[in-house]
A and B are shown apart, each in its own frame.
Chain A
Amino acid sequence: DSGVTQTPKHLITATGQRVTLRCSPRSGDLSVYWYQQSLDQGLQFLIQYYNGEERAKGNILERFSAQQFPDLHSELNLSSLELGDSALYFCASSVASGTSYGYTFGSGTRLTVV
C-alpha cells in the first residue's frame, strides 16, 4: 500500500456521461498530480494541485476539471465522455511542490467508456 488511495478502482460508463475520480494523498503530502495512461500516449500529465491551489496544467481537455479540497483530497471530473477517454487515471502525491521530491502513486482508476 503506497498510502495514496484512489477510488473507484474500475469504472464503466457510457459516452456522454460524467464521472468523478477521487484521490486521497499520502499523509503529510500537500501536492497532488493527475496523470492519464493510455496505450498510445503513455503517461500524460493532466494537472497539479498544491495545498488547494492549481499549480500546473498539462494536456488536460476542457471537458476535464479537478480540484483539491481543504482536507487535501482531490477529485478529477470528466464530462461528455468519449470512447477515447478510456484509460488508466493515476493520482500521485508528494510532500511539496519542489523538483527533487519523488512522487508516490496510487494504484489508479481504470475508466472504460462504452
Chain B
Amino acid sequence: AQSVTQLDSQVPVFEEAPVELRCNYSSSVSVYLFWYVQYPNQGLQLLLKYLSGSTLVESINGFEAEFNKSQTSFHLRKPSVHISDTAEYFCAVRRNSGNTPLVFGKGTRLSVIA
C-alpha cells in the first residue's frame, strides 16, 4: 500500500518570499505523484503531476515539484508567493499500474502574509 506524509501542517510565509511544502511517500512499487490545491470552500484542483520522464514538473502558476526517488520525496516549491496562493495543498500518490485510488497526505495550509 502507498502512504503520504506531509511534514508541515501549516506554513506561514511573507508575500514575495520563497516557499517549500514538503511531501514524502512510501511505496514498494513505482508510483505517480500529484499535488492538489484547495482554496476555501472549494474542491481540490490538480496543480501538477509526475508520471515519468523529467523529474522536475511545473504548473502554470509558478509552482514546481521535483521527484526524488532515492529520498522518496516530491516537494513543492515556489520562488515568490502571492497572497492568492493562500490555500491548502495536498500531496497524493498512486501506484503506476493497476487500478488503485489516489492516496492523499493530510495537507499543508499555506498562509501568505502581506
Contacts and interface: CB of A to CB of B under 8 A. Distances in A.
Interface string B86-105: 00001000111111111111
Contacts of B44: 90, 92, 103, 105
A43 interface: yes
Interface of A: 2, 4, 33, 35, 42-43, 45, 48, 50, 55-56, 58, 90, 92, 97-100, 102-108
B43 A58 contact: no
A33 B51 CA distance: 20
A79 to B, nearest CB: 23
Contacts of B103: 45
Given A90-B43, A99-B32, A100-B96, A43 B90 contact: yes
B78 interface: no
Contacts of A98: 99
A82 to B, nearest CB: 22
B31 to A, nearest CB: 9
Contacts of A48: 99, 101
Contacts of B97: 99
A72 B10 CA distance: 38
Contacts, number: 58
A43 B51 CA distance: 22
B45 A55 contact: no
Nearest to A6: B43
Given A102-B34, A102-B46, A45 B102 contact: yes
Q: 6 nearest interchain CB pairs?
A: A105-B43, A42-B106, A43-B104, A105-B44, A107-B43, A45-B101
A99 B96 contact: yes
Nearest to A97: B99
B34 A107 contact: no
B42 interface: yes
Given A2-B43, A55-B99, A42 B34 contact: no
A55 B100 CA distance: 9
A56 B101 contact: yes
Given A42-B106, A100-B32, A102-B49, A4 B43 contact: yes
